[in-house]
Structure 1
Amino acid sequence: MKHGYIRVAAATPDVKVADPEFNRERICEQIKEGIKNHAKLMVFPELCLTAYTCGDLFGQDALLRRAKKELKEILKETKGHDLLCFIGMPWEESGKLYNTAVAVQNGKILGIVPKTCLPNYSEFYELRYFQPGNEIPVMVKWEEDTVPMGANLLFACEDIPQLVVAAEVCEDAWVPNPPSIRHAIAGATVMANCSASDETTGKDIYRRSLITGHSASLVCGYIYANAGEGESTQDLVFGGQNLIAENGTLLAESSRFGNKTVYGDMDLERLVHERRRMTTFPAADRNHYLVVPFRMKKEELELKRLIDPRPFVPDNESERNRRCEEILSIQAMGLKKRLAHTGCKHGIVGISGGLDSTLALLVTVRAFDMLKIPREQIHGVTMPCFGTTDRTYQNACTLTRTLGAELTEVNIREAVSLHFRDIGQREGVHDITYENSQARERTQVLMDLANRLNGMVIGTGDMSELALGWATYNGDHMSMYGVNSSVPKTLVRHLVRYYADTCGEKDLSGVLYDVLDTPVSPELLPPKDGEIAQKTEDLVGPYELHDFFLYQILRFGFRPEKVYRMAVHAFSGHYGKDEILKWLKVFYRRFFSQQFKRSCMPDGPKVGSVAVSPRGDLRMPSDAVSRLWLEELENL
């Protein structure tokens, strides 16, 4: 449970209808398996101790008595273990029969949660046997003790404050106002659902969207255990589709028509952070709820959870293409609005032959096409200087011409050399002044051209560069509208590739593919043997690592130790632990020290859930110190 991770399971045992002894044996086998696999929370299907399809046999004392007898055996199986289980069974109380999920742990019943919403339509006729459950908990007799029974029960772990579990039973999740809504408002972070949902064509798709949707709207984990093939009798077939979801993401799903157990490593810290971040998520209201405490030993998991090393870039090709088209449209629409509002008919883009300026030019072309402004009024400005290579220069020129924009070349070597003499900078000293003087001269050229043409400078810098402060203050840091300002570097590459793959123009695709193959560089140092001498990722670190850090830190507020652990897991086999730690320290140092650049960055369109605009997502003081975060990394 270190860093908020907890392993949960949804289990479908083999069952025989009306045979509690056989069913208990299978349930206990899966409990043993869960303990062996370090699960801490395990959910079983609805009425699995007797089987859901007992029909009028639910009116037989023999079945009900035997179910409670077998429950005692399950309690013995859990003795000495902290695995919390929810087991579906019928429960007779005060002369009425209830369809319940019984919470058991360490040889004890923690509580009994009755089903609230009983379906009595189509193939379901539960009101024939069962009474709708009470919401307000009452104490009921069990052996020589009493236990709480009611829908409004919260099972709260004293050792892991983020773990608060509530339960509902099958149909409860399918109604317009499911109990899970009030459970979440009362503070439950994980929902357990004991279910017996039969199969009909297409129902699996709806069931999956229902459970993932609940987990998203309630910002919770959701464990859904469904009845399997042993239940199939007479007119119904059960497929055992088990689902584990977390805040809209499906962590695990079992294949249908085979009884299986699925496991998922749930991130409780992520859920708690999301609720804390969302001011519209209400504060916990536990009126009419009974909180049942339980203990659970903390242990560190070897994570089996998939942690995406590229969180900004979808793995699925069709989804990635859809995302790229959407982002290009957002970028272009933002620029279109700014152009229309200001009345600008000319766009000025500094073209280096690199990825960022290429994307900015592609977006500008799309915006101009939307406004029906001739592309000739887009000015692609190439400004060769000391570090420019033939490859990037030719790509810049070819790209601009191929897109139908106006190519303008301004060689700034002489102007920068004169500036060096004015300020007493020796040209042979390749220091920060040497580099930044070129970057600022480029920006001056662009701004002055914009004035002469009554146009607008379109910024090219991306969000990864802004996060690291890898931009010259009042140089490439500045523009009149930054179209890439919330696009991370790892996504820039895919946007350009998507354009190359789909534009349908051979010449344009060719130059875009060559830009994609060119190392990322500001080209501010003289080439070596005609090749780029200054590779950005050699200096500040791999962008795929920095984008991963950026996402986990800003999107979820994770502490440095957890970000490091996640990165080690996500990039296993690609980067060593020491290398990840080195670049994570670099990220924190630069992220804090360079906030002053972000505090005065130009406007630009937000395209995703993470952004660094001081007017939107990141209200961070420019003078905050990074000591707290770096100290935690030093203590690893």
Structure 2
Amino acid sequence: MDFIKVSSACPKTRVGDVDYNISNILDCINNANKNSSKFIVFPELCVTSYTCGDLFLQDYLLNKSLNGIHEILRATEDKDILIAVGAPLLIDSILYNCAFLLFKGDILGIVPKSYIPNYSEFYEKRWFTEGISIETYEINLPFQKNIPFGTNLIFSSNIANFGVEICEDLWVTIPPSSYLSLMGANIIGNLSASNELVSKMNYRKSLILNQSARGICSYIYSSAGVHESSTDLLFSGHLLISENGSLLKENERFQRENEVIYSYIDVFKLRAERMKNLSFRDASKFTGKKPYTINFKFKTTSIEKFDRFIDKHPFVPSSKKEREERCKEIFNIQSSALAKRFEHTGSKKAVIGISGGLDSTLALLVIVKTFELLHLDKKNIVAITMPGFGTTDRTYNNALTLCKELNCDLREINIVDAALQHFKDIGHDKDIHDVTYENVQARERTQILMDLANKEHGLLIGTGDLSELALGWCTYNGDHMSMYSVNPSIPKTLVRYLVKYVADKESNDTVSNTLIDILDTPVSPELLPKDSNGEITQKTEDIVGPYELHDFFLYHFIKHGSSKERIFFLATEAFKGNYSNAEIEKCLDKFMWRFFTQQFKRSALPDGPKVGSISLSPRGDFRMPSDAAPWK
């Protein structure tokens, strides 16, 4: 599935004690290897320790450092893990601060630090020379010949491409990792020694997350720890693993023992994001740099004890605070977009069909907010409730209460007689409850709404959401059609939170209680007759499957172009304990069939705003032939 486990490590060190340091480095490598990690990043100059000062000018320390690298090589010949470890290296009387990339007993390449800080508390130019201008050439060491040396090295494996930079390189205007990313590296390691100052941690973290987003890469950061010299500075051993702007793992700083953190990286997702981001592709043409690629191969990249968190509800933020901020932002987007349409058309009235269900409720709330924004009288919101064969007292009464409390122009038009007449006109038996029976009602309602919008010189506002569009769960030229739609890029799982947000934050008690009851009502088009107790008989999720599964499938299918096999794997991990594999597979089969066969409905969508990262608009994000074969 193109996941790879990586790690960031901070070993205990003694300043200038290479033997001690190597022992702890090997301890971290062994732990990472036992945990199936394939890439481990260590701090800057950890073989010697970072704070050696003028000891870096001593031949003894430099020779001990090289011997330490050789010792790591001998000890890891049988380990299927790429190691990035920091050490000084003297080449032709010039000393470099380097990252050594080691794999199965060989040095794959050596990367010098591009930028050498020499300001504030840093005086590295006293010892080291910058490597920014070094194009790759080969060097010889006593125990290995022809080792690639340079700042443009890409280490290409059978699953991912790796690159490294060192500490200060991240803090400059254009970090070397930007070029490495554009040259193909999708996992970047940073070997660092960043001291602690008040609030520096937050800035450092923001740099790392932003760089991983800018490079559409994973960024693995490892900084020197508390056992460095504290003569003037204190280091904390800060470890972070990020991916495309998201923090996957972070340690608790100031630890005093060897520490290794782990995370699975989704290489497939990174490649998919880069493939879609044409600006990233275009930028790669202008780097002025050519990569030097070093190929190697992991023996195995199979997933063991997969423990990466897979969000069951990728459209919905997990924290309450973030959800509320997201909901407020979405309402602003929806209402501002609708306001523009009213200003452009000169319309003063909105027409909407109100069923007492979630989607029409959300659309009505957006219209109310828009009218407040434009200082329009809410009596110009013409809300039509149209009871039919399946309308229950619960949804009917909720619709009435909501519209009255919001001061709308509430009207009722019963469609039963019109539907019965239409059955007679087309020769359909009213007792045959098939798709014709259902769609006659949906189209009758849309006809009423369209004609009333003309009569009132208003705009008919559509209510359908993203999940329904993905599944084609709408009647073509029925509820599928409107003059402007406000929910087309909001999935069902998020619709609930938007309605809940209004209930909690922007409603009086009566409206709030009504919204809560709407949230508790089963999702249904109410097109089939109610039961003997007057309850809903047609429950959408009993027919098509749980919306939380469909939204999950949709997110990974559209966002990352995931295969059916990959979506199934992710879903079984995310919904473990909620649904059986058989239930997930059945629902996924239904999603794929409906998504492909119902594209013709999406090809004829009315206008509507994009509010999130996924839209199925044929004019915007998603263009698909209506007759593509469903994937199996």
- TM-score w.r.t. structure 2 length? 0.97
Provide the secondary structure at the position in 2 that maps to 1:587: helix
Query: Map of 1:112-511 to 2, 5 A cutoff?
Result: 112-133=110-131, 134-143=133-142, 144-157=144-157, 159-160=158-159, 163-258=160-255, 259-282=258-281, 287-301=289-303, 302-511=305-514
* Residue in 1 that maps onto 2:540: 536
* Residue in 2 that maps onto 1:633: none
- Paired amino acid for 1:298: T
Q: Once the two structures are superposed, what CA deviation does each residue of 1:5-57 show, in whole Å capped at 9, x if it has no partner? A: 00000000011111010000000001001110000010000000111011111
* Residue in 1 that maps onto 2:620: 616
- Indicate which of 6, 9, 21 corresponds to 1:11: 9
Whether 2:583 is the aligned partner of 1:579: answer yes
Provide the secondary structure at the position in 1 that maps to 2:32: helix
Instruction: Return the offset for 1:504.
Output: 4.3
Q: Once the two structures are superposed, what CA deviation does each residue of 1:465-491 show, in whole Å capped at 9, x if it has no partner? A: 000000001110010001001110000
Aligned partners of 1:570 and 1:129: how far apart in 2? 51
Instruction: Return the offset for 1:603.
Output: 0.4
Aligned partners of 1:451 and 1:250: how far apart in 2? 52
Instruction: Return the offset for 1:80.
Output: 1.6
- Paired amino acid for 1:475: G
Q: Once the two structures are superposed, what CA deviation does each residue of 1:316-366 show, in whole Å capped at 9, x if it has no partner? A: 111110000000110111111111111111111100001000000000001
Instruction: Return the offset for 1:287.
Output: 4.7
- Paired amino acid for 1:168: E
RMSD across aligned C-alpha pairs, in angstroms? Answer: 1.1
Provide the secondary structure at the position in 1 that maps to 2:107: strand
- Paired amino acid for 1:434: Y
Aligned partners of 1:514 and 1:354: how far apart in 2? 10
Aligned partners of 1:600 and 1:122: how far apart in 2? 62
- Indicate which of 555, 558, 562 corresponds to 1:554: 558
Q: Once the two structures are superposed, what CA deviation does each residue of 1:486-532 show, in whole Å capped at 9, x if it has no partner? A: 11000000000000000141111111111111110000011111111
Aligned partners of 2:554 and 2:229: how far apart in 1? 49
Aligned partners of 1:298 and 1:552: how far apart in 2? 26
Q: Once the two structures are superposed, what CA deviation does each residue of 1:176-202 show, in whole Å capped at 9, x if it has no partner? A: 011111111211111111000011111
Which runs of 4 or more aligned residues in structure 1 lie more than 4 Å from their structure 2 counterparts after TM superposition? 283-287
Q: Once the two structures are superposed, what CA deviation does each residue of 1:75-112 show, in whole Å capped at 9, x if it has no partner? A: 01210222000000111111111100000010011111
Q: Once the two structures are superposed, what CA deviation does each residue of 1:418-469 show, in whole Å capped at 9, x if it has no partner? A: 1111111111111111111111111111111111111111001001000000
* Residue in 1 that maps onto 2:573: 569
User: 2:228·2:235 contact (CA, 8 Å) conserved in 1?
Assistant: yes
User: 1:461·1:482 contact (CA, 8 Å) conserved in 2?
Assistant: yes
Instruction: Return the offset for 1:232.
Output: 4.4
Provide the secondary structure at the position in 1 that maps to 2:414: coil
Instruction: Return the offset for 1:298.
Output: 3.0
- Paired amino acid for 2:146: T
Instruction: Return the offset for 1:300.
Output: 2.1
- Paired amino acid for 1:202: S
User: 2:89·2:95 contact (CA, 8 Å) conserved in 1?
Assistant: yes
User: 1:136·1:152 contact (CA, 8 Å) conserved in 2?
Assistant: yes
Q: How many residues align?
A: 623
Whether 2:577 is the aligned partner of 1:599: answer no
Aligned partners of 1:576 and 1:299: how far apart in 2? 27
- Paired amino acid for 1:296: F
Q: Which piece of structure 1 moves more, 296-305 or 593-602?
A: 296-305
Query: Map of 1:27-66 to 2, 5 A cutoff?
Result: 27-66=25-64
User: 2:523·2:540 contact (CA, 8 Å) conserved in 1?
Assistant: yes
- Paired amino acid for 2:121: E
Provide the secondary structure at the position in 1 that maps to 2:51: helix
- Paired amino acid for 1:247: N
* Residue in 1 that maps onto 2:80: 82
Provide the secondary structure at the position in 2 that maps to 1:168: strand
Q: Once the two structures are superposed, what CA deviation does each residue of 1:390-420 show, in whole Å capped at 9, x if it has no partner? A: 0000000000011111110001111101111
**Given the superposition, is the C-alpha separation of residues 418 and 253 from structure 1 closer, same or farther in structure 2, using an over 3 Å criterion?**
same
Aligned partners of 1:453 and 1:289: how far apart in 2? 65
- Indicate which of 516, 519, 543 corresponds to 1:516: 519
Aligned partners of 2:300 and 2:456: how far apart in 1? 66
Instruction: Return the offset for 1:68.
Output: 1.0
Aligned partners of 1:462 and 1:156: how far apart in 2? 43
User: 1:136·1:289 contact (CA, 8 Å) conserved in 2?
Assistant: no
Aligned partners of 1:352 and 1:607: how far apart in 2? 24
Aligned partners of 1:95 and 1:428: how far apart in 2? 94
Provide the secondary structure at the position in 2 that maps to 1:252: strand
Instruction: Return the offset for 1:282.
Output: 2.6
Instruction: Return the offset for 1:69.
Output: 1.1
Aligned partners of 1:365 and 1:179: how far apart in 2? 51
Provide the secondary structure at the position in 2 that maps to 1:231: coil
Provide the secondary structure at the position in 2 that maps to 1:282: helix
Aligned partners of 1:623 and 1:33: how far apart in 2? 52
Aligned partners of 1:297 and 1:464: how far apart in 2? 42
Provide the secondary structure at the position in 2 that maps to 1:486: coil
Provide the secondary structure at the position in 2 that maps to 1:534: coil
Provide the secondary structure at the position in 2 that maps to 1:357: helix
User: 2:371·2:377 contact (CA, 8 Å) conserved in 1?
Assistant: yes
User: 2:216·2:270 contact (CA, 8 Å) conserved in 1?
Assistant: yes
Gaps spanning 5+ residues in structure 2: where? none
Provide the secondary structure at the position in 1 that maps to 2:80: coil
Provide the secondary structure at the position in 1 that maps to 2:222: strand
Aligned partners of 1:299 and 1:182: how far apart in 2? 27
Query: Share of identical aligned residues, percent?
Result: 51
Instruction: Return the offset for 1:146.
Output: 2.3
- Paired amino acid for 1:205: N
Aligned partners of 2:383 and 2:151: how far apart in 1? 66
Aligned partners of 2:364 and 2:222: how far apart in 1? 51
